[in-house]
Structure 1
Amino acid sequence: MRAVLLESFRTLPGVRTVPDPEPHEDAVVVRVEATGLCRSDWHAWAGHDAGVTVPHVPGHEFVGRVVRVGSGVHRVAAGDRITVPFVCGCGDCLQCRAGNAQVCPRQTQPGFTHWGSFAELVEVRHADFNAVEVPEDADARDLVGLGCRFATAFRGLHGRARVRPGERVAVFGCGGVGLSAVMIAAALGARVIAVDISQDALALAERHGAEATVNSTGLEPAEIAARITAGEGTVPVTVEALGLEATAQAALLSLSPGGRHVQIGLFADEPSLPVGRMIALELSFLGAHGMAAADYPPMLDLVARGQLKPGRLVTRELGLDEVPGALATMAERPWPGVTVITP
């Protein structure tokens, strides 16, 4: 198969012909219909993930059709059209049995623990537990993000923060996962404030549900918080979708007493946060690390009913040969909206 192969960290990958994946006993091989380019893939390329070793094929959010089935797989069949959470649980541990597969201690992650979806084929481990069947007639662009950023944002807002209609929600960072959070929060009835340094990203946020925006270019965390809280005061829910210390600080400074902060962005280094404020105001700091396959039905129902339209966040489509350059430069030249790759 053809795949984007990372042969050393922080160097330009190449598109190579590599062996097709052979499924483990509990796994299936999926022919990739479409896959997303996510900042987490850039972290893998940059060497920030200790579990990634080279040579490596990145890519972790995808939709496709099963073409090979391991001997121990019984629920998933060749021909099924599926997506999977980017965190694939083992299905047997205490966390998986409790419904928390997204924090499974034996988790596997395509594109991190093994080769991923920037390729024509990708292996999905523990397939009976992790495969999520998707509609045959759904546009692939509406399905790609359901494996990672859209599902993570949904889990963070719906499952962790339990956002209520009418609440104000401030979303910091309007890349793919941040825009997903904007759209989801609006669909849940929240009043959304979007924060970013890119006017193009803020325009997309307004198009997808934000009622107000803050351009944070050149502002210190306290100044960003002051812009957000001017007028109606502090907000009960914040979402940080970048993994930057300054925006996480600004988010926590913007929260009402008893407020809930959802941390989705991954930090390259451990951040310094206003813990004293968190204690004094009894703020909740809630991590969101994907979503278990069993929790997908409410999100899929909103997609089926047209209340969530992830495909509208797609602003660029690439072929496999265009991926190396886009991956290596995405931190310096971020693309507004979601990028979809069709191998």
Structure 2
Amino acid sequence: MSMQAVVLEEFREPLDVQELERPDPEPHGVVAAVEGCGVCRSDWHCWQGDWDWFGYRPEPPHILGHEPTGTVVEVGDDVENVEEGQEIAIPFNFACGKCSLCRNGRENICENHIGLGFMNEAPGAFAEEVHIPNGDINAVPLPDGIDVETAAGCGCRFMTSYHGMAHQGDVGNGEDVVVHGCGGIGLSAVHIANALGANVIGVDLMDAKLERAEELGAVATVNAAEVDDPVTEVHDITNGGADVSVDALEIETTCRNAVDSLGNGGRHVQIGLTTSDERGEIPLPTDEIVAKEIEVIGSLGLQPSRYPEMLDMIQSGKLDPTALVEKTIDIHQVPDELEAMTDFDTVGIPVCNDFSS
């Protein structure tokens, strides 16, 4: 049987929806029917051919998409804890479950990491079905109170922001948190940091995104295009600098502004990844980092073993990933949605939830 999928044939060239063979499960893997898959700027980066400097550049042809939820339709012979019919969240950061990092609760940076949709070993999820290796680890069962439609909003951007705010940034306790870049990751970070008890300031160039930030809990916003210096504005709002800063975009301007927004002893959380313009290299004020004892912390994805924390907060109503979903689209609209990201012309998270039309 065949299925429809969004296929990258050549970097930066128009994407096609093609008929491909459905995946079969490897002995340790499971196959899920995709119920929803967010359309993310990271997919745009992959389409552009970015990120070869850390191995996230597949050789075309390749199926894109890395933010799925789904229903298990087939299970490999060696899988023990996942069953057909289960509704699951699917992290993009596939883990092996056997290396020392996995055994110590750091599956998101597994020594044998495979990035769903970003590496040829894991064809992506803009497709009717997706294969999940090491299903006992990487297929996260959804609790009864969360349906796949709700979970469709907690893909890469939401779960990555949860890890960045709850674990790496360890925000809360009335701390001032400034989020530079209010796209999908940034707005998720605003919502999550607010739920964790922080006072959040959103910084962006677009009023529509800043309005969404306020709706999601930001206590203040700064339009960086309309002020002389957004860093000064943040220092004024926070009476001396933020406790935590987030760069949710990673261009040189947002990364530097985020670090400069901090007060003494502040913590900078880097979530955004660069484009081919920077190729992973951005200058930072190292002497200021020393003098202020600023911590610089990276954050990638979310460990499957820590999904239950996030899912519990969703179940209790403290977090609502559906609030981030801007619109739902079908598979044939995915290429146009990615094209719109060239000019940052999206607000919130678009989700593809129709794969067979």
TM-score by length of 1: 0.96
Say whether the 8 Å CA contact 1:258–1:283 is kept in structure 2. yes
Paired with 1:160 and 1:110, the residues of 2 have a C-alpha distance of 22
For 1:141 and 1:206, the matched residues in 2 are separated by 24
Q: Does 1:71 align with 2:77?
A: yes
Identity of aligned residues (%): 41
Offset at residue 219 of structure 1 (A): 6.1
Q: 2:249, 2:272 within 8 Å by CA — same for their partners in 1?
A: yes
Which of 240, 253, 258 in structure 1 is aligned with 2:247?
240
Correspondence for 1:321: 332
Q: How does 1:37-116 map to 2 (within 5 A)?
A: 37-50=39-52, 51-113=57-119, 114-116=122-124
Give the residue type in structure 2 aligned to 1:31: A
Q: Which runs of 4+ in 1 moved over 4 A?
A: none
Residue 246 of structure 1: CA displacement?
Answer: 0.5
In the alignment, structure 1 segments of 5+ residues that lack a partner are none
Stretches of structure 2 that go unaligned for 5 or more consecutive residues are none
Matches for 1:71-220 after TM superposition, within 5 Å: 71-113=77-119, 114-136=122-144, 138-217=146-225
1:255 aligns with 2:241: no
**In structure 2, distance between residues paired with 1:225 and 1:265:** 18
CA distance in 2 between counterparts of 1:141 and 1:203 reads: 25
Query: What secondary structure does 1:230 align onto?
Result: helix
Amino acid at match of 2:272: G
Partner SS for 1:210: coil
Q: Deviations over 1:218-246 (max 9, x none)?
A: 767xx211011114221110111012111
Deviations 1:100-141 (A, max 9, x none): 011112112221122111010001111101111113553434
Pair 1:296-2:307 in alignment: yes
Which of residues 2, 5, 29 is equivalent to 1:3? Answer: 5
Preserved contact between residue 158 and residue 189 of structure 2 (Cα < 8 Å): yes
Find the residue that maps to 2:266 and give its secondary structure.
strand
Residue 276 (structure 2) pairs with residue 274 (structure 1): no
Residue 305 of structure 1 pairs with residue 316 of structure 2: yes
For each residue in 1:127-169, what CA deviation from the matched residue of structure 2 results, as whole angstroms up to 9, or x when unmatched? 1011111135534343124331111111111111211221110
Superposed CA RMSD:
1.4
- Cα deviation for residue 326 of structure 1 reads 1.4
Residue 347 of structure 2 is matched in structure 1 by 336
**Counterpart Cα distance in 2 of 1:56 and 1:150:** 24
2:116 maps to amino acid: P
SS at match of 1:296: helix
Distance 1:320 1:136, change over 3 A: farther
